Structure 1
Amino acid sequence: MEKERFSGMFMDWVMTFLVVAILATVCNIVGYDGGFIESLPGMLIFGLISLAGLTVKHFVPGNLPAVAYIALIGMIVAMPFSPISGFVVYWAGKVSLMATVTPILAYAGVIVGRDWRDFLKIGWKGIVVSLLVIFGTFLVSGGIAQVLGNIL
């Protein structure tokens, strides 16, 4: 039963990463002048690292979030002592950071937009505060990403 449950979740993750990779690749091509063929290896690397992190999260007991495992695996494969670091760093560099963030923010917007009725029950003051927080978070995150993108 557990094996079937995991395989179903794994397929959901794969489909999610395929959609995000397609959207991010389009964003990389349209918005950041990346090439289609050049974007694919980087997107594949990001997807494999993410799938590995989610798989580790599933099997390792504890409350550590999946993003911690994903970040740890990503750092390990990109470290100079890793035999694949040159490959990973080169191809990951072909994908713009902002291109990968765009589909994730769009997905977050869909999640928020799905619960508008519950959102409206908060009242107008709560709505104003919530919208300010959402826009502020978006603008600050985008600003940080832009600054780091220019530095790196």
Structure 2
Amino acid sequence: MKNNALILTIIGGITLIGNWISFKVSPIDSILGMIILIIIALVGVWLSKIIPIKVESPTVIWVSVLALLLTSPIFPGHEVISQFTDKINFMALTTPVLTYAGLSVGKDINTFKKLGIRIVIVSLLVYTGTFLLASIFAEIVLRLNGTI
């Protein structure tokens, strides 16, 4: 758990710098939002270790579910959480995460080479399907809410 906290803190620091440079949001203004995101991620990691569910990426599932619950209208403090985390731009957050993912793929480059073009095709299909379904879902929810 200490390693996870250290890695998330480093990624959070890089995100704050990227958010400041690219989107002109002061780290002072966005640090509480980053702390909230780090705590949600750490609780999600902890939940994935104590709840025995056999799925491919239990940590991602628990972090996502926890974040969804904490920012949904059913949670009493969702407005405060959203207010602080809104100051962190999504693109600033993805840069260090994608860098970390790229480094992890780089260490298994021989395995990646063996998969060849198949992995590229499967990845493109998965990403396209995920994007389309998320877009359709967002469209439906936004129309039901009267936002669009």
TM over 0.5: yes
Q: Distance in 1 between matches of 2:41 and 2:32?
A: 14
Q: Distance in 1 between matches of 2:119 and 2:73?
A: 43
Give 1:77-96 correspondences, 5 Å limit.
Answer: 77-96=70-89
Aligned to 1:104: 97
Deviation at 1:129, TM superposition (A): 6.7
Deviation at 1:83, TM superposition (A): 2.1
Q: TM-score, normalised on structure 2?
A: 0.73
Q: How many residues align?
A: 131
Aligned to 1:61: 52
Deviation at 1:109, TM superposition (A): 1.1
Runs of 4+ displaced beyond 3 Å: 115-120, 128-134
Give 1:47-58 correspondences, 5 Å limit.
Answer: 47-58=38-49
Q: TM-score, normalised on structure 1?
A: 0.72
Structure 2 gaps of 5+ residues are: 139-148
Cα distance change on mapping 1:30 and 1:56 into 2, 3 Å: same
The amino acid of 1:89's aligned partner reads S
Deviation at 1:133, TM superposition (A): 7.7
Deviation at 1:116, TM superposition (A): 3.6
Deviation at 1:102, TM superposition (A): 0.5
Spell out, residue by residue over 1:86-129, the C-alpha distance to the aligned partner (whole angstroms, 9 max, x if none).
11000110000011110010001111222345555x49xx3x67
Partner SS state of residue 76, structure 2: coil
Aligned to 1:74: 67
Q: Distance in 1 between matches of 2:41 and 2:54?
A: 17
Q: Distance in 1 between matches of 2:120 and 2:26?
A: 35
Partner SS state of residue 80, structure 1: coil
Give 1:34-49 correspondences, 5 Å limit.
Answer: 34-49=25-40
Task: Report the identity percentage.
Answer: 22
Q: Distance in 2 between matches of 1:87 and 1:11?
A: 27
1:19 aligns with 2:10: yes
Aligned to 1:4: none
Structure 1 gaps of 5+ residues are: 1-9
